[in-house]
Amino acid sequence: MSAPRVQSVKPLKERRLLVTFVNEVQKVYDCNRIMHLDRFQPLKNEAFFNMVTVDTGGYGISWNDEMDLSEYELWNNSTEGEGWSLGGDSSGRVARGEPSMAESHNE
C-alpha cells in the first residue's frame, strides 16, 4: 500500500514532528527512533531540527539535501490520534495549546 503525500510538518518538543498528510490525517513521528543513526546526528541540534520542510510534491520531508524521510516512513512509523495540536507530553499525545519547540524560542 502506498502512503499519502505530506501536506505539512511542524516540529514539536522532544524531537517529534506533527505531520499532516494530504488526506487530512495527522500523525506524530518520533525522531528519537532514528537518532542513533550517524546520518541523523545533526537533529540533536534544536535549531537544525526546527528547519524541517516538506519536500516538493509532498513525497517526504527534509532538513537538507542529505537528510530526509519519505512519506512512507512517516506514514507507517508515526502515531495517529485525535486532537493532535502543538506540543506534546511523554505519552506521545499532543496537548492542545502547548507551544512547539520553534514557538517556545520566540518568547
**H or E, element range at 49:** helix 46-49
Task: Give me the domain span that covers residue 15.
Answer: 6-82
34 is a domain residue: yes
93 is a domain residue: no
Amino acid code (one letter) for 59: Y
75 is a domain residue: yes
CATH number, domain with residue 75:
3.30.2020.10
Residue-level pLDDT, tens digit, the chain, 107 residues:
689 999 999 999 999 999 999 999 999 999 999 999 999 999 999 999 999 999 999 999 999 999 999 999 999 999 986 554 444 443 344 433 333 344 433 33
Strand partners for 20: 8, 26
Task: Specify whether the CB–CB gap between 74 and 29 falls below 8 A.
Answer: yes
Residue 92: what pLDDT?
Answer: 40
Residue 1: what pLDDT?
Answer: 67
**H or E, element range at 104:** helix 101-104
Q: Which three cell numbers stand for residue 56?
A: 516538493
74 is a domain residue: yes
Provide the number of structural domains found in the chain.
1
Pairing state between β 53-54 and 60-64? antiparallel
98 is a domain residue: no
